[in-house]
Structure 1
Amino acid sequence: MSTPELIYKITTTAVFAPAHASGHFTGMPIDAADGYMHFSTASQLSETLRLHFAGQSGLLLLAVKTVDLGDKLVWEPSRGGELFPHLYGGPLDIADILWEEQISVAADGSCHLPAGVK
């Protein structure tokens, strides 16, 4: 598997808001429960949004360079055995976020992704 340049984190604006002041993002409640931060690749994003965020607004999509995460980034099988990126070993530094964009997901799970998703 070729490692993509960017991976993506979906969060709510409310959960992400404290990160601007602290300089790091600890993730969504599911991340704390699972012991690692969930990410998706560009090709996995639409299905992740459909399955877990349908009908939600007030979301942020964070783009993170995989190279900046080093060996804390682990690729593990998840949905259908597909490898998903998971961040272990603490919070995500704000400096590692390349960009953030507000998104909303329709009730049917569809979402218009920002042009920067690649």
Structure 2
Amino acid sequence: MMIYKIFRADEWAHLRANGETAGAPIDIADGYVHFSTATQAAETAAKHFAGEDGLMLLAIDTDRLSDDLKWEVSRGDQLFPHLYRPLKMADVVWAQPLPLHGGAHQFPAGLEEASA
């Protein structure tokens, strides 16, 4: 199953340069790396990255994360995937730009959904 992480350019550069990351500042503060499912990703982008350009969308296969991935209730009583270890470059299946058009982020068609 695929889950998704949105990174700013500097956060993506850090992961590529170091091979792993504790995540964005919010991840570091909360003590885990936040992810979204395909159906949650657009709302996450609108809520936390509104108007930001230069973002990257990363797809991560949950099978690569083992028991370090926990599904926990968050926004709107939905289950969100949280990773309780650094995110490693080896966890990333693919990454691509998340362009901003007309004030909204344009997600690739057909994001694979994850289910908890």
TM normalised by structure 1 equals 0.88
Structure 1 gaps, min length 5? none
Counterpart for residue 22 of structure 1: 18
Which residue is equivalent to 2:111?
117
AA in 1 matched with 2:5? K
Give the whole-Å Cα distance in 1 for the aligned partners of 2:12 and 2:28.
14
Task: State how far apart, in whole Å, the 1-side matches of 2:99 and 2:23 are.
Answer: 18
Identity of aligned residues (%): 49
- For 2:40, give the aligned amino acid: Q
Which amino acid letter does the alignment assign opposite residue 9 of structure 2? Answer: T
> Do 1:11 and 1:59's aligned partners in 2 also have CA atoms closer than 8 Å?
yes
Alignment of 1:1-118 (within 5 A): 5-88=1-84, 90-106=85-101, 108=103, 110-115=104-109, 117-118=111-112
Q: How many residues align?
A: 112
RMSD of equivalent CA atoms: 1.5
Q: Which runs of structure 1 show a deviation greater than 6 angstroms over 4 or more consecutive aligned residues?
A: none
Give the C-alpha shift of residue 26 in structure 1.
Answer: 2.0
User: Which range is displaced more, 99-108 or 65-74?
Assistant: 99-108
Structure 2 unmatched ranges of 5 or more: none
